[in-house]
């Protein structure tokens, strides 16, 4: 077996199967829609539900938690520097007098938004580029695969670090764009593989011979058939982009002050982490919990959509 240059970073593409065929029980003549079937399978998994509940609580905490205290994320309380948690400052104060609780939640808000938006954009780029490459083949395919290979050669972190000076003074939406542009490659490969197999299906051939334009076929027949993969991918990418954003912002390459994100929160707290753990541990724990929940939900969702996928054995 000779490996083509494209195959080096190949990720096993999930088989395109018909999920409804696996356990289709029709109750008393009432057909179950696909959506309800997936929902039912999702609800059957305790870990997925638990993670979903925790994630909802985290969202509520991030957006409503700040109203529980009168401290704002950029207030300074110089009289209580580095005090521990008490009723005034729920989680204590950092070394310049900022309230850890208010600041962490503010950072969490930004990280959650960036994670969600960037994951959506990432998967969209992957879906468009991958399906166009897979469907058309030939020159377009070679170009897209070549771009994917090139982008995989340099770690996204390095390219984003190089590009970061251009972010100074811009809105965080540019960071989202950059995270997506340098993060879609692996999904793009999987989508391309699926598009290549879907394009040989009878219904795609039928549409083609009826004269449906290629882009309409992609939109109407290819993408809906990959919807499950794409939904799972968005979920998994949320965790990945939150971590990537944290890493970049930690070194000042991501979210720029006065904006706050989990990266800047952890970066400010890290030097004190072993001596004043309360400054660091709350944010760190919250971040790990968020990403953990997202990945557990992603797994549960994948199992619900495609029970034959490997992760059901976990």
Among 12, 21, 26, 210, binds another protein (CB under 8 A): 12
- Nearest-angstrom CA–CA distance, 229 and 39: 16
155 near another protein, rule: CB under 8 A: yes
Chain positions 207 to 246 lying near another protein, rule: CB under 8 A, are 239, 243, 246
CB neighbours of residue 295 within 10 Å:
16
Among 63, 270, 307, 308, binds another protein (CB under 8 A): 270
DSSP string, 241-284: HHHHHHHHHHTTSSSPTTS--HHHHHHHHGGGTTTSHHHHHHHH
Among 9, 63, 64, 174, binds another protein (CB under 8 A): 9
- Closest distance of CB 9 from another protein, Å: 5
Among 50, 54, 116, 161, binds another protein (CB under 8 A): 161
Give 228 or 264: the residue with its C-beta nearer to another protein. Answer: 264
From 140, 120, 142, select the one nearest 233 (Cα to Cα): 120
174 near another protein, rule: CB under 8 A: no
Taking phi over 0 as left and psi of -120 to 50 as alpha, with beta for the rest, 76 belongs to beta
152 near another protein, rule: CB under 8 A: yes
Backbone angles phi, psi at 34, to 5 degrees: -60, -40
Question: Residue count at the site for another protein (CB under 8 A)?
Answer: 54
181 near another protein, rule: CB under 8 A: no
Among 158, 173, 215, 227, binds another protein (CB under 8 A): 158
CA–CA distances in Å: residue 22 to residues 18, 144, 148, 303: 8, 34, 34, 12
Among 95, 157, 207, 219, binds another protein (CB under 8 A): 157
282 near another protein, rule: CB under 8 A: no
CB neighbours of residue 161 within 10 Å:
16
Give 194 or 287: the residue with its C-beta nearer to another protein. Answer: 287
Among 71, 135, 172, 280, binds another protein (CB under 8 A): 280
295 near another protein, rule: CB under 8 A: yes
- Nearest-angstrom CA–CA distance, 266 and 249: 9
Give 10 or 20: the residue with its C-beta nearer to another protein. Answer: 10
287 near another protein, rule: CB under 8 A: yes
Instruction: Estimate the share of the chain in helix, then strand, then coil, as percent rounded to the nearest 5.
Output: 70, 0, 30
From 288, 268, 254, 279, select the one nearest 110 (Cα to Cα): 254
- Closest distance of CB 166 from another protein, Å: 4
Among 101, 182, 253, 276, binds another protein (CB under 8 A): 253
169 near another protein, rule: CB under 8 A: no
From 10, 13, 8, 6, select the one nearest 233 (Cα to Cα): 13
Indicate the Cα dihedral angle 128, 134, 140, 144, nearest 10°.
60
> Which residues make up the interface to another protein (CB under 8 A)?
1-3, 5, 8-12, 149-150, 152-159, 161-166, 186, 239, 243, 246-247, 250-253, 266-267, 270, 273-274, 277, 280, 284, 287-289, 291-292, 294-296, 310-311, 313-314
């Amino acid at each position: 077996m000779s490996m083509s240059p494209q195959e080096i970073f190949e990720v096993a593409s999930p088989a395109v199967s018909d999920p409804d065929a696996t356990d289709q029980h029709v109750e008393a003549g009432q057909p179950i829609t696909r959506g309800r079937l997936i929902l039912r399978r999702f609800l059957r998994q305790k870990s997925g539900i638990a993670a979903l509940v925790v994630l909802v609580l985290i969202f509520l905490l991030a957006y409503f938690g700040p109203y529980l205290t009168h401290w704002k994320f950029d207030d300074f309380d110089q009289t209580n520097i580095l005090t521990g948690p008490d009723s005034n400052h729920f989680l204590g104060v950092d070394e310049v007098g900022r309230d850890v609780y208010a600041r962490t939640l503010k950072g969490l808000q930004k990280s959650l938004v960036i994670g969600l938006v960037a994951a959506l954009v990432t998967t969209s780029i992957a879906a468009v580029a991958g399906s166009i490459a897979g469907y058309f083949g030939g020159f377009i395919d070679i170009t897209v695969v070549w771009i994917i290979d090139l982008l995989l050669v340099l770690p996204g972190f390095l390219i984003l670090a190089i590009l970061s000076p251009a972010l100074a003074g811009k809105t965080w939406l540019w960071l989202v764009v950059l995270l997506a542009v340098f993060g879609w490659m692996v999904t793009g490969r999987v989508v391309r593989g699926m598009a290549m197999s879907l394009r040989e299906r009878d219904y795609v051939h039928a549409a083609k011979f009826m004269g449906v334009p290629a882009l309409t076929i992609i939109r109407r027949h290819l993408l809906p058939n990959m919807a499950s993969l794409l939904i799972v991918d968005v979920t998994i990418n949320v965790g990945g982009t939150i971590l990537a954003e944290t890493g970049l912002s930690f070194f000042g390459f991501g979210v720029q002050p006065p904006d706050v994100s989990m990266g800047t929160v952890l970066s400010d707290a890290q030097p004190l982490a072993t001596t004043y753990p309360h400054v660091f541990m709350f944010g760190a724990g919250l971040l790990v919990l968020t990403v953990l929940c997202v990945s557990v939900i992603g797994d549960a969702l994948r199992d619900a959509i495609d029970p034959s996928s490997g992760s059901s054995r976990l």
